[in-house]
Amino acid sequence: MGAYFAGRRTAHTGRYKPLILTGALLMPVAILGMAFTPPQSLIVMSLFMILTGVATGMQFPTSLVGTQNSVQVRDMGVATSTTNLFRSLGGAVGVALMSALLLAMLQHTGVGQLGAGALGGEGGSGNVLLDSLNAATGPALETLRAELAVTFRNLLITSAAISLLGLAAAAVMPNTLLRGRD
């Protein structure tokens, strides 16, 4: 939805920066919305997830168009492939870093204590989180769920803060017309 809207709007106006900026503004709002929405609120959580997808869709294709528009036609293939390379690389590194941060955060909760070090890679079950959730009952289960909710909330807040880098990049991007629209 976001990519479709952004593509149509860019084709109509000839400008891509406003759409990238809008997506970059929506992203931290959507992520913070997920962070502070209770896990039981499936509809509200789903709306924030959709908003995250729309924000991503508004940024990715239009930033590629911006990259292609900023280079000479003969360099367009190199610019496109370089953009895609760094997107893939950034995604892989981002997932690895956020996973490491999640595991580090879980180490300092009751979840980390349940697995006797398994979260840190010191042996034990690779499914310590699921095993703990399945084994816990009553108050222990509620405590575990509360600790997980706080951990994921903190992880999402961190993610929203990191997404502000995209907003900063979008803010300093030149607001030029598409090639051929001069």
Q: What is the pLDDT, as a whole number, of residue 175?
A: 87
* Residue 178 pLDDT grade (very low, low, confident, very high; cuts 50, 70, 90): confident
32-45: average pLDDT: 94
More confident residue, 37 or 11: 37
Q: Grade residue 111 by pLDDT with cuts at 50, 70 and 90.
A: low
- Give 24 or 129, the one with higher predicted confidence: 24
Among residues 3, 130, 124, 17, the alpha carbon closest in space to that of 61 is found at 3
At 131, give phi and psi (nearest 5°). Answer: -60, -40
Q: What is the pLDDT of residue 180?
A: 76
Ordered DSSP codes for the chain = -HHHHHHHHHHHHSB-HHHHHHHHHHHHHHHHHHHTS-TT-HHHHHHHHHHHHHHHHHHHHHHHHHHHHHS-GGGHHHHHHHHHHHHHHHHHHHHHHHHHHHHHHHHTSHHHHHTTTGGGTSSS-TTHHHHHHHH--HHHHHHHHHHHHHHHHHHHHHHHHHHHHHHHHHHHS--PBPTT--
Cβ neighbours of residue 123 closer than 8 Å, sequence gap 6 or more = 117
Statement: residue 182 has pLDDT above 70 = no
pLDDT of residue 124: 47
**pTM score, whole prediction:** 0.82
The answer to whether 26 and 1 have CB atoms below 8 angstroms apart is no
Radius of gyration in angstroms for the set of CA atoms belonging to the chain, rounded to a whole number: 21
Query: Which of 159, 172, 133 lies closest to 17 in space, CA to CA?
Result: 172
Length of the chain equals 182
Q: What is the pLDDT of residue 117?
A: 47
Predicted confidence band at 92 (pLDDT cuts at 50, 70, 90)? very high
For the chain, percent of residues with pLDDT exceeding 70? 86
Q: Say which residue, 1 or 24, is predicted with more confidence.
A: 24
Q: pLDDT at position 153, please? A: 95
